[in-house]
Each structure stands twice: as C-alpha cells, then as structure tokens.
Amino acid sequence: GEDVEQSLFLSVREGDSSVINCTYTDSSSTYLYWYKQEPGAGLQLLTYIFSNMDMKQDQRLTVLLNKKDKHLSLRIADTQTGDSAIYFCAESRLGGSQGNLIFGKGTKLSVKP
Amino acid sequence: DAGVIQSPRHEVTEMGQEVTLRCKPISGHNSLFWYRQTMMRGLELLIYFNNNVPIDDSGMPEDRFSAKMPNASFSTLKIQPSEPRDSAVYFCASSLIAGGTDTQYFGPGTRLTVL
C-alpha cells in the first residue's frame, strides 16, 4: 500500500517498556521520524534515524530500523505517565529534497499507574 | 526562537462565513506546510511551500480552500465559505531544507469549529 501504517492503540503499565511499531513504504526514504503529540498541542519531534543506520539510542528512547522489511520501531524504556500521548511515525518520501513527510495515523499510548 | 506561531488558537464560526488562519514560520526556514487533523482522517497534508512557492496543493479539499505565502515570514489558509465538515485542528509546520534532515517543526494548531 501507499500508507505509513501504525497500530492505533497501546496500553502499558508505568515502569514497563513500550514498543510502538510502524511500517513504511518507500525504500528510498532517507530519514524516518518519530513525533509525539500531547493533548491540545502540536506535534513535537522526538527523534529521527537516517536510513543507513539500524539503531539509534537517545536516553530512554531506542529506534530500530529494518530496511529490508521497511519496519521502524520506537522503544520507550521505563515508561512514565508523562509519556501518555499520540506517537506518529513519518517517512521522508521525497528523500529530503522538498521536505514532504508522510505521517502514519498515530499510536495512542496510554500509561497506567 | 519562538517557534512556529499560529493564530488564532481557537475559532468558532457559522457555516458560510470566511475563515482565515495565520502562520508565522521559524525565521530562516524555507519550507512551510499546512495540515489538517481530524479523528476520522488523522493528519492530512493540505499544501506546502518551498521558498514561498506552492509546490503541492493536491491535498487541498476543494476550491473553498486557498493558501498564500506572500513572504518568507507569513502564510494564510483561507476557507470561504466554511462548512461544518471543515471543523478540525489545522497545523502549520516549517522546516529548513538544506540537504540534510527535513525535520518539520509544528505550531500549536488552530482549533476550528464551524457551526
């Protein structure tokens, strides 16, 4: 298909790890992004990964990229209630030449105390 | 930097009225994007500009929607006439396309309600 796909909901307990998955479509995408949207706010960039990397770690966040399967994941370690939000995966379908990002529909993460 | 600025933050209007949404991108950015977000359709790209020039407006729903970018620091999205189905949150985002990442920075959004 042509869409960036994500599961719509994920529920975890505080302190557990969260893994949010995404499949994208364009094998030539140069950058892949994770954005976070808190209630009533705009999308905030969390992290991104260049397509020649397999993994990127930034504090509690780990991004894994499987180019063969066009699969991207975001792992949040020690999930906190403040991590409750909608997480969007996005691919740079035009290779960054014009800046057009294709977003998934977002995964709503609920963290239970 | 103040980030992307959008106004108004909330707009309530009646069907048939003209609505104008405003956006000030981050200074120095050369690309600007307008998105619409609804529960049913998620985040949709309406139009984007590079160096003030519209590049792709294929996401604009119909002729009632128009967008302009008269200079590098200002853009408008206009809906005339507005309809209840236009109710949504409208986001503006900007980025600097310079051969590296194309990270987009989003404004806080305008929540539009058309009665």
| Model pLDDT, residue A98 | 54
In which order are the strands placed within the sheet that holds A71-76? Answer: A5-6, A18-23, A71-76, A61-66, A55-58
Q: Which residue matches tokens 């529909």? A: A105
Q: Are A20 and A107 in contact (CB under 8 A)?
A: yes
| Model pLDDT, residue A1 | 47
Q: What pLDDT band is residue B1 in, cutting at 50, 70 and 90?
A: low
Lowest mean pLDDT among A27-31, A94-98, A101-105, B62-66: A94-98
Which is it for strands B110-114 and B10-13: parallel, antiparallel or unpaired? parallel
What whole-number percentage of chain B has pLDDT above 90? 78
Task: Residue count of chain B, please give it.
Answer: 115
Report A:34-53 residues touching B (Cβ under 8 A).
35, 41-45, 48
Q: Is the pLDDT of residue B13 over 90?
A: yes
Pair of tokens at residue A67: 């180019």
Kindly state whether A105 is in contact with chain B, defined as any CB-CB distance less than 8 angstroms. yes
| Model pLDDT, residue B92 | 97
Pair of tokens at residue A96: 């960054």
Pair of tokens at residue B13: 């209007």
> What secondary structure letter does DSSP report for B98?
S
Write the residue in A41, A98, A105 that is nearest to B50 by C-beta: A98
| Model pLDDT, residue B11 | 97
| Model pLDDT, residue B105 | 92
pLDDT in tens, A22-61: 999 877 777 899 999 999 899 999 999 988 899 999 999 9
List CB contacts (< 8 A) between A92 and chain B. 101-102
pLDDT in tens, B56-68: 888 898 899 999 9
Using the beta-carbon criterion (under 8 Å), do A42 and B99 form an inter-chain contact? no
